[in-house]
Amino acid sequence: MEGTILKTFNFSANFGESQVLKNISIEINRNEVVAVMGPSGCGKTTFIRCINRMHELTQGATVNGDIRVDDNSIYTMNLIVLRRKIGMVFQHPNPFPTMSIYQNVVAGYLLNGIKLKKTERDEVVERSLKRVALWDEVKDDLHKKGTFLSGGQQQRLCIARSISMNPEILLLDEPTSALDPISTAKIEELIFELKKNYTIIIVTHNMQQAGRISDRTAFFYLGELLEFNDTTELFINPKHEKTQNYITGRFG
């Protein structure tokens, strides 16, 4: 199903007196990869944390405006339902250390009190691990701790944990910044595959990565969305001088 999946309307976010996002309006389509770029402290991570309402976990955090998913305001949705629709993967791989690989994949069901039969759990684990190209590597070690895996495998496990709940949107916050080049390449290949089933919003500092994997790129600067365009067009023909300066390495 094509069309817009996510819209923000004049969306702003604050931490206490400090305004971190200013009047962000953006529309993101189904099954596209959107890269969110900009210098440190420009609001990239806050933006994606707001999409599944993690921003609110910080004391003193407030928002204005609206974010709509499938044309429903995220502020009228049940939080558990919202976070099932919108999965999130963080910068550093964070499998739950006391859980096995198997338990990590179905953790969302366990934590939300959603009961599955063992056959259903087995199916979710196998399907999710296959989708992140990890099944063949771990199928004989499912009951070992997730932390037994390499960094790149742990990050793929965290992605499997996110997609096990069948979300519509995946938020990735610099998912390869702690990984070596080989693991990074595997995650990038995975993003191409996942795009068939999910809309992906990825925060990245790596312009080459954005160029390789994203359909469109949003450039943030001091909490504002300065530019949003097809990635190739934005890199070759940026409309804003600050975008041009960032791309050419004059700041960042």
Domain residue ranges in the chain: 4-94+168-247
Q: Is the pLDDT of residue 1 over 80?
A: no
Question: pLDDT class for 251, splitting at 50, 70, 90?
Answer: low
Average pLDDT for the chain: 95
- % of the chain exceeding 70 in pLDDT: 98
Q: Is the pLDDT of residue 214 over 60?
A: yes
Q: Is the pLDDT of residue 121 over 80?
A: yes
Question: pLDDT class for 20, splitting at 50, 70, 90?
Answer: very high
What is the SS3 string spanning the chain? CCCEEEEEEEEEEEECCEEEEEEEEEEEECCCEEEEECCCCCCHHHHHHHHCCCHHHCCCEEEEEEEEECCEECCCCCHHHHHHHEEEECCCCCCCCCCEHHHHHCHHHHHCCCCCCHHHHHHHHHHHHHHCCCHHHHCCCCCCEHHHCCHHHHHHHHHHHHHCCCCCEEEEECCCCCCCHHHHHHHHHHHHHHCCCCEEEEECCCHHHHHHHCCEEEEEECCEEEEEEEHHHHHHCCCCHHHHHHHCCCCC
Q: Please, is 71 exposed, middle or buried when counting C-beta atoms within 10 Å of its C-beta (0-12, 13-18, 19+)?
A: exposed
The predicted model gives 150-171 an average pLDDT of 96
Q: For the domain bounded by 4-94+168-247, which CATH number is listed?
A: 3.40.50.300
Q: Is the pLDDT of residue 252 over 70?
A: no
Q: Is the pLDDT of residue 221 over 90?
A: yes
pLDDT tens-digit map of 53-71: 999 889 999 999 999 999 9
The predicted model gives 94-115 an average pLDDT of 93
